[in-house]
């Protein structure tokens, strides 16, 4: 049994990541217990990605979609019927990639991890933290054939405060913390404190 996934928490943070991109040195993204033979991360997409366009910006998954990160880490199993607008990737960075392409497989896996927060293993599932979900996104982009520079920029995008906002207030957050994904995401500290105090976080709506 795999006893947990612990991506090294942002010793390669956004600032250090930018320095790494400028210098040409690879980012130090490591995870304990997830190295395959030869020291390389081996990821495999088991299914073709079939999406249905709902309203021009929201997509629905037609069939189950599976991404095996490695035998030790487990599998991201996205269920048919899952809907997404790729909100786990900050919209300002969408211009780096076309609207549709090979990277969509990584984006769907990342959205599922942010929304469901589970990785299937042999005898059940594990609950990953945000750093692990973002690290899996980086690995999936590589397995999609996305270039080193673009995939690391996209990783920095999801590690940004905008990505943290989606993690803390998106579909996967407790009900009392969820906020609409449309409109202005950035609010003052006072406004956020007022919103937080106004939520009923002791009721049945909280997970």
Question: What is the pLDDT at residue 24?
Answer: 47
Task: Confirm if 168 and 177 have CB atoms less than 8 A apart.
Answer: yes
Residue 184 has pLDDT above 70, yes or no: no
Question: What is the pLDDT at residue 198?
Answer: 58
Residue 141 has pLDDT above 90, yes or no: yes
**Angle at which helices 14-23 and 148-158 cross, to 10°:** 170
Question: What is the pLDDT at residue 7?
Answer: 40
Question: What is the pLDDT at residue 21?
Answer: 46
Task: Confirm if 87 and 77 have CB atoms less than 8 A apart.
Answer: no
More confident residue, 110 or 55: 110
Looking at every residue in the chain, the average pLDDT score rounds to 74
| SS3 label, residue 120 | strand
Residue 110 has pLDDT above 90, yes or no: yes
Q: Where are the chain's structural domains?
A: 14-173
> Which tens digit of pLDDT belongs to each residue from 40-59?
445 899 999 999 988 877 88
This prediction has a pTM of 0.69
Residue 109 has pLDDT above 80, yes or no: yes
| SS3 label, residue 42 | coil
Question: What is the pLDDT at residue 162?
Answer: 85
> Which tens digit of pLDDT belongs to each residue from 69-107?
988 889 999 999 999 877 677 776 776 666 667 888 999
Q: Lowest-confidence range among 26-35, 62-71, 112-121, 151-160?
A: 26-35
């Amino acid at each position: 049994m795999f006893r947990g996934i612990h991506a090294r928490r942002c010793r390669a943070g956004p600032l250090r990541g930018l320095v790494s991109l400028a210098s040409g040195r690879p980012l130090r993204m490591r995870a304990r217990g997830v190295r395959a033979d030869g020291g390389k991360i081996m990821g495999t997409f088991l299914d073709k990605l079939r999406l249905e366009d709902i309203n021009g910006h929201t997509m629905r998954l037609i069939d189950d979609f599976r991404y095996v990160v490695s035998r030790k880490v487990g599998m991201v199993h996205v269920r048919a019927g899952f809907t997404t607008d790729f909100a786990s990737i900050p919209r300002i960075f969408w211009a780096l990639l076309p609207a549709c392409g090979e990277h969509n497989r990584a984006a769907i896996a990342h959205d599922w991890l942010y929304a469901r927060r589970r990785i299937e293993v042999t005898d059940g599932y594990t609950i990953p933290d945000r750093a692990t979900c973002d690290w899996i996104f980086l690995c999936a982009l590589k397995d999609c054939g996305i270039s080193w520079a673009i995939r690391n920029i996209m990783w920095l995008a999801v590690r940004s405060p905008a990505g943290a906002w989606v993690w803390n207030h998106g579909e996967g957050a407790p009900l009392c913390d969820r906020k609409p994904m449309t409109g202005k995401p950035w609010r003052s500290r006072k406004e956020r404190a007022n919103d937080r105090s106004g939520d009923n976080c002791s009721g049945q709506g909280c997970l």
